[in-house]
């Protein structure tokens, strides 16, 4: 997961920076991010059926190999001087497609490897590992882009995926019974049906959806903050991403070391409220030394929030439906780049700072409304 995540964070920074260089448009940056998130809606849900049916190790190997080949193709495209803006849209969609299969598959094997009693710690440690790569991936990408080009940054994404492929060949995943008997659209959307018919899963899903749409997309526009507001360039962009990653690692490790107890549902409300206020501070800060600690705090709170939500969901589902439910749940990760499109449009009209702050305010209002109306949340 860490090797794959290094690749994806590196790719995110590289696609965003290359989009900005080619078009100098916040709208296009948002559009590229949108294309990378779209597969989480159109690919992840039907893929969940096959994750429950097919050998998960094979799925991981094929997806990682395909993503590595894409990284090599993009590196050649850039280094040969052929790259055009539409190439980024197509490549971002393909990359998102591979990721929308990889992530739920990795999530679904956790209980098989560690047992249900170890799920909380495993999810927390996996999240911490992913968040550590938020420091390594963007930092490396920023350095490589600054001293050479985005082409070599794409080569890094391919190399880390080759490493991930090699590691997965050494993993033995216990076999399981195939329990998916429904076919077609009924099977494809059974994960969503399972979530929506249970109050506890439904409210956790909603809480996981709102921040990626309304708050988290600001990370897609850190390149604009770095270049136009803080004036710190590509290397400074890596610094901002690393600061957020440091906080997220700490938050995930804190979650991994704790035992869940009643009241964790309402605890999520308090976390996201503080997080929204911190993001508003990031939006209007024009000083690096104010932005950096706020990025660390935001990473800590965001990492804690999503890791806790993920673990609470994992603990409430059975293994025979885990692939479908987690594939549906992974849609929330795709909502981050999807949310970047409207944020980019608003940013083009009234400025990125106001767009980021407005998203945080709207998210806070909706989260507080859910907290006031949901009875199921009080039982979690």
Phi, psi for 104 (deg, rounded to 5):
-65, -30
Task: Tell whether 273 is covered by a domain.
Answer: yes
Is 34 part of a structural domain of the chain?
A: yes
- Res. 263: pLDDT tops 90: no
DSSP state of 379: G
Phi, psi dihedral angles at 113 (to 5 degrees): -90, -30
What is the CA 106 to chain-centroid distance, rounded? 14
Residues in the chain: 380
Q: What is the pLDDT of residues 118-138, one digit of tens each?
A: 877 887 788 778 777 767 787
Percent of the chain surpassing pLDDT 70: 94
Given this model, what pLDDT does residue 78 score?
93
Q: Is the pLDDT higher at 364 or at 185?
A: 364
Distance, CA of 346 to CA of 200 (rounded, Å): 34
Find the domain containing 13 and state its range.
Answer: 2-171+186-379
Report yes or no on 178 lying in a domain. Answer: no
pLDDT bin (cut points 50, 70, 90) of residue 305 is confident
Asked if residues 312 and 379 have their Cβ atoms less than 8 Å apart, the reply is no
**Separation of alpha carbons 130 and 267, rounded Å:** 23
Does residue 241 contact residue 296 with C-beta atoms inside 8 Å?
no
How high is the pLDDT of residue 178? 56
Cα angle for residues 9, 18, 13 (degrees, 5° grid): 15
In this structure, the dihedral spanned by the alpha carbons of residues 7, 27, 350 and 332, taken in order and rounded to 10 degrees, is -50
Is the pLDDT assigned to residue 287 strictly greater than 60?
yes
Are residues 124 and 252 in contact, defined by beta-carbon separation less than 8 angstroms?
Answer: yes
Residue 186, pLDDT score: 59
Is position 177 within any domain? Answer: no
Q: Is it the case that residue 376 has pLDDT exceeding 80?
A: yes
Instruction: List CB contacts of 327: < 8 A, sequence separation 6 or more.
Output: 44, 45, 47, 48, 51, 104, 191
Residue 213 lies in a domain: yes
- Helix (H/G/I), strand (E/B), else coil: 114: helix
What average pLDDT does range 86-107 have in this prediction?
A: 90
Q: Is there a contact between 273 and 368 (Cβ–Cβ < 8 Å)?
A: yes
Query: 229 CB contacts (<8 Å, ≥6 apart)?
Result: 286, 352, 353
pLDDT in tens, 151-177: 999 999 999 999 999 999 998 888 766
Considering its fold, how many domains does the chain have in total?
Answer: 1
How far apart, in Å, are the Cα atoms of 1 and each of 8, 104, 127, 200?
10, 11, 9, 28
Who has greater pLDDT, 89 or 44? 89
CATH classification at residue 230: 1.20.1250.20
The answer to whether position 181 is within a domain reads no
**Residue that is written with structure tokens 């197509």 in the block:** 90
pLDDT over 60 (residue 188): no
State in Å, rounded, how far the first CA of the chain is from the last one: 28
Q: Is the per-residue pLDDT at 90 higher than 80?
A: yes
Closest CA to 153 of 336, 27, 6, 334: 6
**Is residue 85 assigned to a domain?**
yes
Against a cut of 0.75, is the pTM above it? no
C-alpha distance from residue 145 to each of 17, 140, 153, 288, 360 (Å): 9, 8, 7, 21, 30
Q: Mean pLDDT of all residues in the chain? A: 85
Question: Residue 180 falls within a domain, yes or no?
Answer: no
């Amino acid at each position: 997961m860490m090797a794959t995540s290094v690749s994806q964070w590196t790719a995110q920074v590289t696609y965003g920076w290359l989009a900005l260089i080619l078009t100098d448009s916040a709208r296009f940056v948002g559009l590229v991010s949108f294309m990378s998130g779209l597969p989480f809606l159109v690919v992840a849900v039907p893929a969940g059926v096959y994750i429950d049916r097919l050998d998960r190790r094979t799925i991981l190997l094929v997806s990682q190999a395909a993503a590595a080949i894409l990284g090599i193709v993009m590196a050649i495209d850039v280094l040969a001087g052929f790259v055009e803006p539409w190439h980024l849209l197509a490549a971002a969609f393909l990359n998102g497609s591979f990721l929308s299969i990889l992530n739920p598959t990795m999530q679904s094997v956790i209980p098989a490897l560690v047992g249900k009693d170890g799920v909380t710690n495993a999810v927390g440690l996996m999240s911490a590992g992913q968040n550590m790569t938020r420091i390594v991936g963007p930092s490396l990408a920023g350095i490589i882009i600054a001293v050479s080009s985005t082409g070599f940054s794409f080569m890094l994404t391919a190399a880390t995926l080759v490493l991930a492929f090699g590691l997965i060949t050494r993993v033995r995943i216990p076999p399981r019974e195939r329990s998916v008997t429904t076919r077609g659209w009924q099977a494809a959307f059974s994960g969503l049906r399972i979530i929506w018919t249970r109050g506890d899963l439904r409210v956790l899903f909603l809480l996981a959806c709102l921040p990626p749409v309304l708050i988290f997309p600001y990370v897609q526009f850190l390149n604009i903050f770095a270049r136009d507001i803080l004036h710190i360039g590509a290397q400074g962009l890596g610094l901002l991403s690393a600061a957020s990653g440091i906080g997220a690692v700490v938050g995930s490790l804190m979650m991994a070391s704790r035992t869940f107890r009643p009241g964790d549902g309402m605890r999520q409300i308090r976390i996201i409220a503080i997080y929204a206020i911190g993001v508003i501070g990031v939006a209007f800060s024009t000083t690096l030394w104010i932005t950096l600690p706020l990025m660390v705090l935001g990473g800590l709170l965001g990492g804690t929030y999503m890791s806790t939500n993920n673990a609470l969901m994992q603990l409430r589902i059975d293994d025979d439906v885990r692939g479908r439910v987690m594939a549906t749940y992974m849609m929330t990760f795709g909502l981050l780049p999807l949310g970047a499109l409207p944020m980019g449009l608003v940013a083009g009209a009234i400025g990125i700072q106001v767009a980021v702050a407005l998203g945080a305010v709207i998210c806070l209002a909706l989260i507080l409304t859910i907290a006031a109306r949901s009875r199921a949340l009080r039982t979690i």
